[in-house]
Amino acid sequence: MTEFGDVPEYLLTVEGLKTHFFSRSGVVKAVDGISYDVREGETLAIVGESGCGKSVGALSIMRLVSSPPGRIVDGRVLFDGADLLEVSESQMRTIRGNRIAMIFQEPMTSLNPVLTIGKQITESLELHLKMQGAEAQKRAVELLEMVGIPDAPSRLKQYPHQFSGGMRQRVMIAMAMSCNPRLLIADEPTTALDVTIQAQILELIKNLSAQLGTAVIIITHNLGVVARYADRVNVMYAGKIIERGTAIDIYENPQHPYTQGLLDSVPRLDEDRKRKLESIEGMPPDLMNLPAGCAFQPRCKYAIERCVEETPPLLTVGDGHTAACWVTAGSTSEVGA
Amino acid sequence: MRTYAIQRVLLLIPTLLVLSFIAFALIRFIPGDAALLMTEELGYAPNLEKLQERLGLTEPIHIQYFKWVGGFFRGDFGRSLWDGSPAADELVRRLPVTLELAFFSLFLSAIVAIPIGVFSAMRQDTKSDYIVRSTVVLADAVPHFWLATLILVLPAVYIGWSPPVGWHSLSEDPVKHLLLLLLPASIISVSSAASLVRITRTMMLEVLRQEYIRTAWSKGLSERSIMYRHALKNALIPVVTVFGLRVPNALNGSVVMEAVFGIPGLGRWTIDAIHFRDYPQLQVALMFTAITVLIANLIVDLAYGWLDPRVRYR
Ligand SMILES: Nc1ncnc2c1ncn2[C@@H]1O[C@H](COP(=O)(O)OP(=O)(O)O)[C@@H](O)[C@H]1O
Ligand SMILES: [Mg+2]
């Protein structure tokens, strides 16, 4: 993390990214104009309820949104001086798995069932690092050991079904880290795992990123994860970022009613255990027919007339802390970045 | 997997017994026997009962069956009722010809159909995909014999030339041998190729939706390695099943093409055996055709293990 006053080094800058899905019944605005940046080595969390566009936003960075029906309709993704939305497909392939790597939610189905773990790890090494034979094999063993898989040489010859869920996610992490990426995108890496294993996997990601200096975007709908592992947080709702700040800002001083609602729905370590957990009332909006004004307004107990008339932009509420709400952030602040 | 393979092989024995019963019974449902044909229709011998007794047709039916099966499993395949020649002699000459034609056609259909199926799935809902799919529907509807007649007759009518037919043995002239086989094999392969394109395309589309394919993309692999290394091997399992199911069809097609192209395989010989009620000859032809299908199915089952580690380690 950069100290206050330093010029932040942006590894990734996303500007006005819009990814829509076009179907016969209409346009789903899965990601609708999000802007954020990721600094070298930091961990950024993206949180929000299921279906708010977190995965689509991440896949857009890698240009892996299935098309048709999906299309990135607008925006820029600046990585290392280039706009990833403009580079050629073959240039993009030299970035995927090499400079930006990704791990997914379902370790059970994210590995190819008919290829050995060794093959799946070494193919990245062969492709990007031009390693061959024994050298790639040796590196694959190191990688498995690095992610805490015992008995690595013989494990390399095995297939995914011979691994437990947690072990498979470790394999995914080994694969993702194999070419020493600058950025790791982890899309709900622990959602499908047992609670006890979740913590181990998150610790592993955290330690590796610290050790190797890898920046991490961790996508989750679990705010507990955020508090512990993230430096900064983007809260998403209906395809937009509605609040952004440091993990401490978001956890201790949430400004958007939606963020507050999310926090009320998870148990907190620093509070009375008997507090009743409240989930946010109502349903997430239909991305094909968004309500007028603020997308959260129909579910919001503070909503005023202006919320229906005008969509709130991200408004500055503190140093590096912005929220898109007329009520809680609108009174005192100006339009933020 | 090894115990599975052994079990599968052992299972062949009861299957063969059932088959032997069917092969034996089937031909006896056709009215008349060889002795009857010899005496009444061809005036070949004067005394029906005596002849039937000589040919062993008067013995109780179960005794006839056990004698034949006993002989069969000892490697004695019986003798032709008409000329007394060992049925095995002729079989050994003809079976390889039919098998070669059938498997050559299956091989052709696989090497053509699988890449087309993959291509069609990769280009789903584009013009090329539509062309492939319409061709498949057409190819599926065309009968072998009609296609064969068309190919032989049309050029003869319009340009006064027709493709060569006949047979050259492999040892005599390998090139000519293969060239002569190519046309009938291609004709037989058409309908199998159609099924294989369809199943390959369907399975590829299914596999391409899987999350491990997205993982493969996220690693920066090329479309080619994703299609052939990551997707096809998963899609191939049902393709192999269909391939196995096409074996009887290919044998069937061979029998027809042998007649059209004058190829000395099992086809003509089997039809003659039915015609002349030559029980031992027909039984041995049926048994070996059935054994071919059984072995092909066995290979398909074992191929699952090769393709799918989840089966291999069961
Ligand atoms: N392939 C697709 N076709 C159509 N709509 C899609 C597709 N993928 C995602 N979406 C839509 O985009 C929205 C955001 O999805 P996603 O990013 O996966 O949400 P999450 O925040 O849970 O990761 C969802 O409402 C979903 O309906
Ligand atoms: Mg998701």
Q: Which residues of chain B are within 8 Å of residue A97 when distances are taken between CB atoms?
A: 218-221
| Separation in Å, CA of B96 to nearest CA in chain A | 35
CA distances from A137 to A132, A140, A171, A313, B218 (A): 8, 5, 14, 51, 21
Question: B313 contacts in A (CB within 8 Å)?
Answer: 159, 161-162
CB atoms within 10 A of CB B69: 18
Q: Which residues contact B263 (CB under 8 A, 6 or more apart)?
A: B97, B101, B166, B167, B181, B184, B257
For residue A44, what are the β-bridge partners?
A217, A232
Distance CA(A146)–CA(A177), nearest Å, equals 10
B307 with A112: Cβ contact below 8 A: no
Full 3-state SS string of B111-164:
HHHHHHHHHHHHCCCCHHHHHHHHHHHHHHHCCHHHHHHHHHHHHHHHHCCCCC
Number of A/B CB contacts below 8 angstroms equals 76
Give the closest residue to B165 by CA, choosing from B149, B146, B147, B152: B152
Q: Which residues of B20-51 are buried (b: 16+ CB within 10 A; e: fewer)?
A: beebbeebeeeeebbbbbbbeeeeeeeeeeeb
- A332 compared with B236, residue with greater pLDDT: B236
pTM of the model: 0.83
Give contacts of A 151-180 with B, CB under 8 A. Answer: 159, 161-162, 172, 175
A 70-99 residues with CB < 8 A to B: 92-98
Q: Does residue A70 have its Cβ closer than 6 Å to ligand 1?
A: yes
Provide CB contacts within 8 A for B88, sequence distance 6+.
B77, B284
The CA distance from B221 to A119, in Å, is 13
CA distance A235 to A48: 6
Alpha carbon of residue B265 to chain centroid: 12
At A220, phi and psi to the nearest 5? -160, 160
Which residue of B lies nearest to A125 if distances are taken between CA atoms?
B219
Q: Are B203 and B116 in contact (CB under 8 A)?
A: no
A17, A28, A288, best to mutate for ligand 1 pocket (most atoms within 8 Å of CB): A28
CB proximity B211 to A under 8 Å: yes
What's the whole-number mean pLDDT along residues B84-103?
Answer: 88
Percent of chain B with pLDDT over 70: 98
Taking alpha carbons only, the member of A205, A123, A193 closest to residue A163 is A193
What's the rounded mean pLDDT across residues B232-261? 89
Element (H, E) at A318: strand A315-318
- Give the separation between CA A128 and CA A122, rounded to whole angstroms: 10
For residues B202 and B199, give the distance between their C-alpha atoms in angstroms, rounded to a whole number: 5
Contacts of B100 (CB under 8 A, 6+ apart): B181
Contacts of A92 in chain B (CB under 8 A): 220
Does A50 sit in the ligand 1 pocket, CB within 6 Å? yes
Is residue A239 in contact with ligand 1, taking CB distance under 6 Å? Answer: no
Cβ separation A123–B222 shorter than 8 A: no
User: What pLDDT was estimated at residue A1?
Assistant: 45
For residue A8, give the nearest of A34, A35, A37 by alpha carbon.
A37
Could you tell me if A123 lies within 8 Å of chain B, comparing CB atoms?
Answer: yes
Q: What confidence score (pLDDT) does residue B314 get?
A: 60
ipTM: 0.90
Cα separations (Å) of A36 from A58, A210, A241, A312, B303? Answer: 12, 22, 9, 17, 51
Is A125 in a helix, a strand, or coil? helix
Q: Is the dihedral of CA A271, A277, A280, A284 positive or negative?
A: positive
Residues written for chain B: 314
Q: Of ligand 1's atoms, which has the minimum distance to the CA of residue A23?
A: 4
User: DSSP of B30-64, one letter per residue?
Assistant: SS--HHHIIIIIT---S-HHHHHHHTT-SS-HHHH
Please list the rounded mean pLDDT of every run of 10 residues in chain A (337 residues): 55 95 91 93 92 94 90 93 92 95 90 95 94 93 93 94 92 94 93 84 91 94 81 94 92 90 75 65 83 88 87 89 86 52
- Bridge partners of B296, per DSSP, are none
Residue identifier of the C-alpha nearest atom 9 of ligand 1: A56
Q: Is the CB of A285 under 6 A from ligand 1?
A: no
Q: Minimum mean pLDDT among A89-93, A168-172, B50-54, B118-122: which range?
A: B50-54
Burial class of residue A335 (count of CB atoms within 10 Å of its CB; 0-12, 13-18, 19+): exposed
Protein residue with its CA nearest to atom 6 in ligand 1: A21
For ligand 1, atom 24, which residue shows the shortest CA distance?
A51
Query: Is the CB of A235 inside a 6 Å radius of any atom of ligand 1?
Result: no
Per-residue pLDDT, B45: 67
C-alpha distance from residue B228 to each of A125, B60, B224 (Å) = 19, 60, 6
Find residues 225-244 of chain B whose CB sits inside 8 Å of chain A: 225, 229-230, 233-234
Is the distance from the beta carbon of residue A51 to the nearest atom of ligand 1 less than 6 Å? yes
Give yes or no for a contact between A230 and A42, defined as CB atoms under 8 angstroms apart.
Answer: no
Sole residue written with tokens 């002729």: B90
Whether the CB of A115 is below 8 Å from some CB of chain B: the reply is yes
What confidence score (pLDDT) does residue B272 get?
Answer: 85
Cβ distance of B214 and A110 shorter than 8 Å: yes
User: Could you please report the per-residue DSSP string of B192-224?
Assistant: HHHHHHHHHHHHHHHHHTSHHHHHHHHTT--HH
B309 to chain A: which residues are within 8 Å by CB?
A: 113-114, 116, 159, 161
Residue A237 distance to chain B (closest CA, Å) = 25
Q: Which of A242, A206, A288 is nearest to A42 (CA)?
A: A206
Whole-number Å distance between alpha carbons of A64 and A226: 25
Cis omega before residue A69 (within 30°)?
yes
Q: Residue with structure tokens 């190191």?
A: A142
Choosing from A21, A50, A72, A287 the residue with most ligand 1 atoms within 8 A of its CB, the one to mutate for a pocket test is A21
Q: Is the shortest distance between the CB of A28 and ligand 1 below 6 Å?
A: yes
Strands A100-103 and A183-187 turn out to be parallel
SS3 B313: coil
- The answer to whether residues A184 and A205 touch, using CB atoms and an 8 Å cutoff, is yes
Residue B211: which of A97, A104, A124 has the nearest Cβ?
Answer: A104
Q: What is the pLDDT of residue A274?
A: 60
